[in-house]
Structure 1
Amino acid sequence: MVPPTHPRTTTRPSPRQSRISPEREAQMYAAVIDMLRETGYDALSMEAIATRVRWSKATLYRRFSGKQELVAMALRHQSPLRTDTYDTGSLAGDLHAMVDARSDQRLHADAALLRGVFRALHTDEELGDALRAVDHDELGALVSRAVRRGELAEHHPAIPHLPHLFVSALVAHPLIEGGPANRDFLHRYVDAVILSALGTEAPPHEA
């Protein structure tokens, strides 16, 4: 969930090139996220992950250089900013659908997970490298649809900053308001901040 800067080059096959089924891959990423929530990043190990998902360590290491890359891919796969399943017919509708797709409880858990990852970044430089090497264009499908519909200019200067806006809302809310962000807050945030930044007004029925 950190915007890419200078992706690393690697000769190892990507997870998408693996023979592991998409279903098993998704289950593995979900298990990694669960373990991050349960034990934190520092206590996480490739051996523990292999045991949890019932894979051999050799299989994990054939696909990932270490826990840093595996965690980065799991965060990418489980990102709250993924919008490829939403198509309501409007930019505002898609953004609000993204908020509605997660319960308040899940939003609270996402925020706690992000704070834990940010703490780990201070002590593990390889984790930062892995996060920056992963494609984090979670909002790409949503933006592309808005451009095709004529709602958004293709090169609008705010587009690259959309992930920053969403992540900062989740992380900063507890510091400012004393508690985690919920869906009601995020709906208002979409209308007042995200859509305004993109030069698009929220329709009256969504305000």
Structure 2
Amino acid sequence: MTSQAAEDPETVAASRRSKITPEREREFFDAVLEQIRECGYESLTMEGVASSTRCSKSTLYRQWKTKPQFVAAALRANRKVRFSGIDTGSLREDLRQAARAAGDWSDKDTRLFQALGHAVTQDLELQQALRETLVDPEIAALREILRRGAERGEVRPDNPALEYVPAMIFGVVRARPVLTGQYADSDYLLRFVEAAVLPALGLT
């Protein structure tokens, strides 16, 4: 007698999904994010990713069902906190290091933001995945840096600029390509922090 589990379509699908190794999954995710950066979200197709990774498109559809689900999974798998671990014991130096770190990844992340700009307004799962991956962890890490500085007495805890430091740093990263056609690299962001952020916090 054939067991119910063996006949259950969800069980069969789960078994098929389990055949994709973590290394192969990473290859798929890297390919989808790079194609978004290069061609834009609207131009991305499951067929294109399948071709570039030498797999069948049915493999991708079986695993992720739709393009938005696939992209959201790739974003979440790519989650990194670039400001994590920055703790020099000095708020000035922490913010300088954060500027350098932001400059190291601003090119790729800004291109990804730009390419996903319209799509994330139409798909809540994509919007949430983008925030979970590229926004919320970095804001939380910056706020932790600022909290430690306030606890050490380097900045007054009621300084009104504290609330806006994440917006200042993220804003200039996103805005510079629009204003000048250049990405905000480490040198630019370091100058910005020293000229605008530190004075706003009273750290001259």
Q: TM-score range by the shorter chain?
A: 0.5 to 0.7
The one-letter code of the counterpart of 2:122 is E
The one-letter code of the counterpart of 1:130 is L
Q: 1:1-207 maps to which residues of 2 (within 5 A)?
A: 29-46=29-46, 48-49=48-49, 56-57=59-60, 58-61=62-65, 66-70=69-73, 72-73=75-76, 77=79, 82-101=82-101, 107-121=106-120, 125-126=122-123, 129-132=125-128, 134-135=131-132, 136-148=136-148, 150-151=151-152, 158=161, 161-197=164-200, 199-202=201-204
Are residues 177 and 65 of structure 1, via their aligned partners in 2, closer, same or farther at CA, if it must alter by over 3 Å?
closer
Query: How many Å separate the matches in 2 of 1:51 and 1:71?
Result: 17
Structure 2 gaps of 5+ residues are 1-17
Offset at residue 83 of structure 1 (A): 0.8
Query: How many Å separate the matches in 2 of 1:167 and 1:201?
Result: 20
1:124-181 Cα offsets, whole Å, 9 max, x none, are 510x553246432323234324424515667876555444322321232233335332
Query: How many Å separate the matches in 2 of 1:85 and 1:27?
Result: 27
The one-letter code of the counterpart of 1:191 is E
Query: How many Å separate the matches in 1 of 2:98 and 2:145?
Result: 14
Offset at residue 103 of structure 1 (A): 6.1
Query: How many Å separate the matches in 2 of 1:77 and 1:184?
Result: 24
Query: How many Å separate the matches in 1 of 2:148 and 2:22?
Result: 29
Query: How many Å separate the matches in 1 of 2:96 and 2:27?
Result: 27
1:41-72 Cα offsets, whole Å, 9 max, x none, are 1122345446656783233359x961452355
TM-score where L is the length of structure 2: 0.60
The answer as to whether partners of 1:50 and 1:60 remain within 8 angstroms in 2 is no
**Larger RCO (alpha carbons 8 Å, 6+ apart):** 1
* Aligned-pair identity (%): 29
TM-score where L is the length of structure 1: 0.59
Query: How many Å separate the matches in 1 of 2:95 and 2:26?
Result: 24
Are residues 145 and 98 of structure 1, via their aligned partners in 2, closer, same or farther at CA, if it must alter by over 3 Å?
closer
The one-letter code of the counterpart of 1:167 is F
Is the helix fraction higher in 1 or 2?
2
The answer as to whether partners of 2:100 and 2:187 remain within 8 angstroms in 1 is no
Query: How many Å separate the matches in 1 of 2:158 and 2:90?
Result: 18
Structure 1 gaps of 5+ residues are 1-17, 203-207
Are residues 161 and 118 of structure 1, via their aligned partners in 2, closer, same or farther at CA, if it must alter by over 3 Å?
farther
